[in-house]
Amino acid sequence: MALQSPFFGNKRESDGFSPRPTPTSGGTTGLSGLNTLQTATPVANPVANSNAATAATASVQEGGSKLTVGPNIKLKGVEITDCDTLVVEGLVEATMDSRVMQISQQGAFKGSAEIDIAEIRGQFDGSLTVRDKLVIYATGKVTGKIRYGKLVVEEGAQLSGEIEFGAGSGTKSAAAKSAALHVAAAA
């Protein structure tokens, strides 16, 4: 006669579903690191930063896809596509094209990224093209080739490398217009 394991198939009716505890509005749930993005460092310019946060939240609320790389997670050698929001709490070495990227204070991204809005509290190293707004918080460090549409840098943030204003197709058309003016002036 076969013996049945007490762990499978003997579900008691009194066992109910117990949902996960939900985080409170400003505190933590008792698990360290669960609310890392909600307990961010105070910002010097809340108006400018709230606009970036509103845009990031709006893209997720529209039914967009969101990828979160948690603390102590390493994601290497990938191309991230069809992702509206990337939240980096660990280490990501990748190439990506997205709408929003948020790097938490302990997060790091290495590689190349073309995005609409970037909020950086951790580290970015590589080629970064931000079509709309790049926000670097006091704990943020950005190095490499950086192109941006708008730039917000908090006191204490670090920004180094090849830095250019103008991202996206607007820069190319401006260069073409400039070339056309030189040709017209020469004629």
pLDDT at residue 54 greater than cutoff 60: no
Q: What is the largest CA-CA distance in the chain?
A: 100
Categorise residue 149: left if φ over 0, alpha if ψ from -120 to 50, beta otherwise. Answer: alpha
Q: Distance of alpha carbon 47 from its chain centroid, rounded?
A: 19
Do residues 95 and 113 lie in contact, with contact meaning Cβ atoms separated by under 8 Å? yes
pLDDT at residue 38 greater than cutoff 50: no
For residues 13-36, give the mean pLDDT: 45
Task: Give dist(CA 118, CA 151) in Å, integer.
Answer: 10
Task: Give dist(CA 90, CA 120) in Å, integer.
Answer: 13
Q: What is the pLDDT, as a whole number, of residue 82?
A: 85
Q: For residue 84, give the amino acid letter.
A: D
Those residues with Cβ within 8 angstroms of residue 26's Cβ, 6 or more apart along the chain or in another chain = 38, 39
Six-digit token string for 27: 């505190």
Task: Give dist(CA 187, CA 179) in Å, integer.
Answer: 13
Q: Look at 21-30, 59-68, 159-168 and tell me which has the smallest mean pLDDT.
A: 21-30
What pLDDT digit, counting tens, does each position of 78-132 carry? 899 889 999 999 999 999 999 999 999 999 999 999 999 999 999 999 999 999 9
Do residues 51 and 66 lie in contact, with contact meaning Cβ atoms separated by under 8 Å? no
pLDDT at residue 65 greater than cutoff 80: yes
Q: What is the pLDDT, as a whole number, of residue 81?
A: 86
Q: What is the pLDDT, as a whole number, of residue 64?
A: 86
Q: What is the pLDDT, as a whole number, of residue 40?
A: 38
**The tokens 């931000």 sit on which residue?**
130
Q: What is the pLDDT, as a whole number, of residue 169?
A: 47
What pLDDT digit, counting tens, does each position of 138-182 carry? 999 999 999 999 999 999 999 999 999 986 544 444 443 333 333
Q: N- to C-terminal Cα distance for the chain?
A: 100
φ/ψ (deg, to 5) at 56: -65, -40
Q: What is the pLDDT, as a whole number, of residue 177?
A: 36
Q: What is the pLDDT, as a whole number, of residue 93?
A: 96
